[in-house]
Structure 1
Amino acid sequence: MTDDPRPTTRRTALKRLAAATTVASLAGCAGGSGGPETADGGGGDATATPTATSADTATATATPTEPDTQAATSTVETATTTTERGAYTVDMYTELYFDPVGLFVEPGETVSFELVSGAHSATAYHPDNPNALNRRIPDGAPAWDTETFGDVGTFRNVTFETEGTHDYYCIPHKMVGMVGRIVVGSPGGPAEESENPDLPLPDSARIVEEGEIAWADWQENV
């Protein structure tokens, strides 16, 4: 009796299907060892994106620190806008003068330069300041400067730590003689070596003796 060929055909087909499934499975395992596909359709051989090392991260995220300037600023003259008035006041006028024009203070005292009218500055004769041309403050003293300001009724403070004679001027009005003098502790420094070139100023010894010299009193002697 001859066997029915249909069962044989069905078994053969099942064997072939099983073989094909096995081959596909083995191929998938072999390809999987290279990692997932890349965006361009490549396999696991694509070059991996390098990651930042801890050293790189530290370099990229580190923020440089500001130098410690506290020690440098604790003993020098400073010019700031503040609501706290100093022990002494020098007024600045549209008529282009400082009053008092001569003032004596002890080291560490604060002077308030107050704007009565106009727009002015109180600026040390120091080469680092605008229009100073020469130095007329003690050696080692910083280039203190309130800068020009025009808000009438406001003031800026300068704290004097360096002993000696400090000549100063108004930046926009220096050439027309708006100058002044402050003696800190005792006279001394370049200002004592020659007369102020922009306008004669009171003698430092007189400033120390009287404490302050008003502009009107000084003008009677000029």
Structure 2
Amino acid sequence: MKRRDFLRAASVPAAAATASAATGTGAAQETEGGTATGTATGTSTGTGTSTGTGTGTATSGGGGGGPTATVTVGPGGSLVFEPGTSEPLQIAPGTTVEFVWESDNHNIVVDSQPDGANWQGHEPLENTGFTYTHTFETLGTYEYYCAPHQSAGMVGTIEVVENPNAGGGGGGEKELHSFGVPIHAHWVGAATILGILVTVIFTFYVLKYGESAHTGTGRNG
């Protein structure tokens, strides 16, 4: 065999071996890449799990930069929501209410709410230190309770109104219109001025003419 033919025949297996090696390397790299992707996915799933028992936090209903209010759940071990049980909590639309657990084994079950509202409450039982927040957007009355202690009177009420400070309870002077009497200021002023005028005219008449002509003694005939 000639030297040229020998070199040509030898180069064919060498090229095939090189291509095979390259293919194997690419497959290995692809396999390693798949392994890395799988590991990353597994880590993400593992860190995405959390529980709200004890000192955790749960949030619902969006939230944002609006006003805030706080409701204490079981303060001092008592079976009440404060405020909410003895008197309703009045808030404006968009207010975020934070429920703070101060005793154990309580939850929030929604009993009734306005049409269109989407409050789900927080039904898992939680313990001291847990907090739950919800932003109330829909006007109306929200009734809720603690399932284990509902029979003991642990119920609450939230009222979402346009002007939560307008109907403040307690004493103090009340305007007449608060009793349903539509009295306007200009009518009150006009009546006062009229009364003064009548009094002045009557006084002037009495001072000028004295007694009425019909009360005096008549002339002797």
Larger helix share, 1 or 2: 2
Interval containing the TM-score (normalised by the shorter chain): 0.3 to 0.5
Larger strand share, 1 or 2: 2
User: What TM-score results when the alignment is normalised by the length of structure 1?
Assistant: 0.43
